[in-house]
Each structure stands twice: as structure tokens, then as C-alpha cells.
Structure 1
Amino acid sequence: MFKGLGGLGDMAGMMKKAQQMQKDMAELQEQLDTMTVTGESGAGLVKATATAKGNLTGLDIDASIFQPSEKEVVEDLILAAIKDAQAKAQEKAQSEMQKLTEGLGLPADFKMPF
């Protein structure tokens, strides 16, 4: 590209890649707000839906578990479903981030600070 300027040609290419990655990263952050995952517990009796950023957006509880004597069980199922949704959200975000950084030659276990 800039023949005769030593490593400046490579530097310009790196800067262009960095700018593109910054743009792609911003787009990904917006997409993570619209991607959803669903966590479950109790064989699907309780389902929690969250964005890929981990924000809880919905909770579905099967009516069959509403018995006063089962209050603690229901609470545990709700917490388990939420934790499952949050774990899946984190996995989804990492997966999408890995797709984005794949072409940069970064180590597979490299974690971005987002």
C-alpha cells in the first residue's frame, strides 16, 4: 500500500481494521439488546426470557405449581429459571463476540471487556 514507508502501510491497515471492529462492536451491542434466550427449570414449568445482555424480559409460570404449600419450591424454580436464562445470555453474548473477533487472529479464549 505505502511502498517504501516501512511499517506504515501495515499500521494504516491495522487502523482501518480497528475502526471497522469498533463499528462492528457497536452494532453487536445493539443486536444483543434484541437477541433473546429462554431459561427453564422444573422441566419447563418455569421459563424466564432475557436479552443476550442478561436483562430479564419475561417470566412464564405454569399454573399447576401454584399451591400454597409449595411456595418455597416455586421460588426456587423461579430463581433457577432466571439463573439459567442469564447463563444462556452470557453464552450467547460470548458466542456472538467470538464470531466478531474470529478474523482478527485473537486467541480463542480472549475476552473483550464488555
Structure 2
Amino acid sequence: MKARLPQGYGGGPGGNMNNMLRQAQKIQEDMAKLQAELEEREYTTKAGGGAVEITITGKKVVKAITLQPEVVDPEDIEMLQDLIIAAVNEAIRNVEDVQTREMEKITGGLSMPGML
């Protein structure tokens, strides 16, 4: 008598393994498409009450830095440098947060290493 695997274990008549593989492939395709879309987006973040504005791409490339004239004080260059650093770091966090939230919509919270 030949042993049969119960349904749902890949070898049984249910073919669940094939369905799971197709679903995994679809998730990967959806994630790759979404990742490309997210990388094309631009994100704008402000720091210092709007004194410094950073525009960054989804690939984390700074596209623009806008400074309000009142923040440019030749006597206090360190404050301006700190504001720019804060704005860039906030912009990067913003991109990463948006990308994570968007990917979680596809994966249902599953970890997919190497996708971002």
C-alpha cells in the first residue's frame, strides 16, 4: 500500500504548495513594483519651524535644500549646520517610514529581507 501525504503538504491532491509558490511570487512582483514607485517619489521635510526645507527622493538622494533668509546668520553657522543635519535625517526617516508602511500593506507585516 502506497502512503499518501495529506492534503496541504505539497504532495497531496490539493496542490497547496503550488498555490503558495504563486502567492509568494505575486507578493515579490508587487513588492518590486511598489519599491520602484516609492523610489521615484519625492518627499519634503521641514526643520527649525520651517527654516530649513529638504526635498529628498525615495532613493534618499537630496534634491533640494531651501533656507529661509532669517536662518542664515554668519555669526552662528553651527546652528544652520545643525538645522540642515536635522532636516536631512528627518527626511531620511520619513522616506523609510513611508516605504515600510507601504510594503507592510503588501506583505501583511511579514519580513522580506533585502527588499528595501
Instruction: Identify the TM-score tier after normalising by the shorter chain.
Output: 0.7 to 0.9
Cα 1:19–1:68 shift into 2, 3 Å: same
Q: Please, what TM-score do these two structures have when normalized by structure 1?
A: 0.81
Indicate conservation of the 8 Å contact 1:41/1:77, yes or no.
yes
Question: How far 1:40 sits from its partner (Å)?
Answer: 1.7
Question: How far 1:41 sits from its partner (Å)?
Answer: 1.2
Indicate conservation of the 8 Å contact 1:39/1:47, yes or no.
yes
- Partner in structure 1 of residue 113 of structure 2: 112
Q: Please, what TM-score do these two structures have when normalized by structure 2?
A: 0.79
Runs of 4+ with >4 A deviation: none
> Which blocks of at least 5 consecutive residues in structure 1 are unaligned?
103-107
In structure 2, how many angstroms separate the alpha carbons of the residues matched to 1:92 and 1:53? 12
Between Structure 1 and Structure 2, how many residues are aligned?
Answer: 106
- Partner in structure 2 of residue 105 of structure 1: none
- Partner in structure 2 of residue 94 of structure 1: 100
Rg (Cα) greater in structure:
2
Residue 76 of structure 2 corresponds to residue 78 of structure 1: no
> Which blocks of at least 5 consecutive residues in structure 2 are unaligned?
1-6
**Counterpart amino acid of residue 80 in structure 1:** A
